[in-house]
C-alpha cells in the first residue's frame, strides 16, 4: 500500500508540474518592444520642442526606433558632421548650412527636403517698459544690451545681420550686441531680463511667456527662413532615417509643426 501511494503521489506531482509548464508557456508576454535601431538627429535649437513632440508620436508607432537628438546652432552641427560626427539626419534652420553639406557630398542622394518656414522677430521681456515698435528702434540710446545670434554659425544671427545691414544700422547695434551660441540662448537672456531685447524666431517667442514680440522683421529685409532636413550619407540606417524624415513631412508631422507656429511648405 505504501508503494502504491508513493507511486500515485509521484504521478500527481508530475501532472501538476506539466500543467504549470503549459500554463506558463501559454501566458502572453507583457514585455515592451525594445528599440533595435538608434537614430542620431542633429537639429537646430529652434526645433527643440517640435521635434521632441514629433519624436514621441513617431516612436509610439515605431517602438523599434530610438531617436537621440543633438540640438545646437546649425553652423556648429554642420561642422560636426563634416568632421565625422555621429549623425543620421540633419535638420537645419537655414539653407546655407544644408547647401554646404550637399556641396561637400555629406548628404544621402535625393533625401534633402525644404519643409518649413519661420519668421524673425524682435522680443523684449514681458514686463519691459521700453517702447520698441520696429527693428529701427534698436539704435535708441536707452538700450544697453541687445541679444543676437552669433552671425557666423547661428542662422538667426545671419538673418539679423542681413536685417541690420538692410536698415543701415549694423554698426550702431553691434556696439551693444551680446552674441549667443544659438537662438535659445538669446531667448533665455531676454526671458531672464539679462538683455533689453533680442532677435529670435516667432516660434521661439511663442513658447516663452516671459517675453513678448515687439516687432517683426521688415518684409524683404532678409533671405527667407527656410528649414531643410536630409539624411546623412554615412548613416548605417538609411531605410529607418528615410522613414522618419518622411514622417516629419507627412500630414501628421505637418500638423505638429503647424501647432508650434511653423509654416509648412
pLDDT in tens, 98-126: 999 999 999 999 999 999 999 999 999 99
What does pTM read for this prediction?
0.85
Is residue 113 helix, strand or coil? strand
Q: Which three cell numbers stand for residue 91?
A: 535638420
Domain extents in the chain:
37-117+225-264, 120-216
**CA count, 13 A, side-chain hemisphere, 18:** 6
Q: What angle (nearest 5°) sits at the alpha carbon of residue 113, between those of residues 155 and 107?
A: 80
Q: Where are the beta strands (DSSP E) in 154-217?
A: 177-180, 197-201, 211-216
pLDDT at 181: 97
User: Of 3.30.56.10, 3.40.50.1470, 3.40.190.10, 3.30.200.20, which CATH number belongs to 120-216?
Assistant: 3.40.190.10
Separation of alpha carbons 183 and 179, rounded Å: 10
pLDDT in tens, 216-251: 999 999 999 999 999 999 999 999 999 999 999 999
CB 187 within 8 Å of CB 119: no
Is residue 29 helix, strand or coil? coil
Please report how the helices 238-249 and 48-61 are oriented relative to each other, as an axis angle in degrees rounded to 10. Answer: 110
* Ramachandran sector of residue 32 (left: φ over 0; alpha: ψ -120 to 50; beta: rest): beta
How remote is the C-alpha of 147 from its chain's centroid?
21
Torsion sign over Cα 237, 240, 241, 242: positive
- pLDDT level of residue 5 (50, 70, 90 thresholds): very low
Whether residue 23 has pLDDT greater than 80: no
Same fold, 37-117+225-264 and 120-216: yes
The mean pLDDT value for 33-50 works out to 93
Whether residue 12 has pLDDT greater than 60: no
Q: Which residues contact 247 (CB under 8 A, 6 or more apart)?
A: 54, 58, 253
* Ramachandran sector of residue 188 (left: φ over 0; alpha: ψ -120 to 50; beta: rest): alpha
Domain 37-117+225-264 has CATH 1.20.1250.20: no
Amino acid at each position: 500500500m505504501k508503494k502504491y501511494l508513493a507511486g500515485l503521489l509521484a504521478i500527481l506531482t508530475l501532472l501538476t508540474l506539466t500543467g504549470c509548464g503549459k500554463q506558463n508557456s501559454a501566458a502572453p508576454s507583457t514585455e515592451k518592444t525594445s528599440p533595435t535601431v538608434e537614430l542620431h538627429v542633429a537639429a537646430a535649437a529652434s526645433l527643440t520642442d517640435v521635434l521632441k513632440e514629433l519624436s514621441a508620436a513617431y516612436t509610439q508607432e515605431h517602438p523599434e526606433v530610438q531617436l537621440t537628438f543633438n540640438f545646437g546652432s546649425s553652423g556648429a552641427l554642420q561642422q560636426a558632421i563634416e568632421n565625422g560626427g555621429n549623425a543620421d539626419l540633419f535638420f537645419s534652420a537655414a539653407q546655407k548650412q544644408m547647401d554646404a553639406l550637399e556641396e561637400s557630398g555629406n548628404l544621402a542622394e535625393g533625401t534633402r527636403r525644404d519643409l518649413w518656414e519661420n519668421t524673425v522677430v524682435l522680443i523684449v521681456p514681458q514686463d519691459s517698459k521700453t517702447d520698441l515698435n520696429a527693428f529701427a528702434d534698436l539704435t535708441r540710446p536707452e538700450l544697453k544690451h541687445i541679444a543676437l545670434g552669433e552671425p557666423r554659425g547661428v542662422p538667426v544671427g545671419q538673418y539679423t545681420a542681413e536685417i541690420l545691414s538692410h536698415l543701415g544700422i549694423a554698426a550702431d547695434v553691434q556696439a551693444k550686441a551680446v552674441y549667443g551660441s544659438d537662438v535659445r540662448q538669446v531667448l533665455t537672456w531676454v526671458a531672464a531680463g539679462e538683455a533689453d531685447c533680442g532677435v529670435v524666431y516667432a516660434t521661439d517667442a511663442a513658447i516663452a511667456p516671459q517675453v513678448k514680440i515687439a516687432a517683426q522683421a521688415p518684409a524683404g529685409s532678409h533671405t527667407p527662413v527656410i528649414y531643410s532636413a536630409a539624411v546623412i550619407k554615412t548613416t548605417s540606417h538609411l531605410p529607418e532615417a528615410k522613414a522618419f524624415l518622411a514622417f516629419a513631412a507627412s500630414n501628421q508631422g505637418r500638423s505638429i509643426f503647424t501647432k508650434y507656429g511653423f509654416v509648412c511648405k
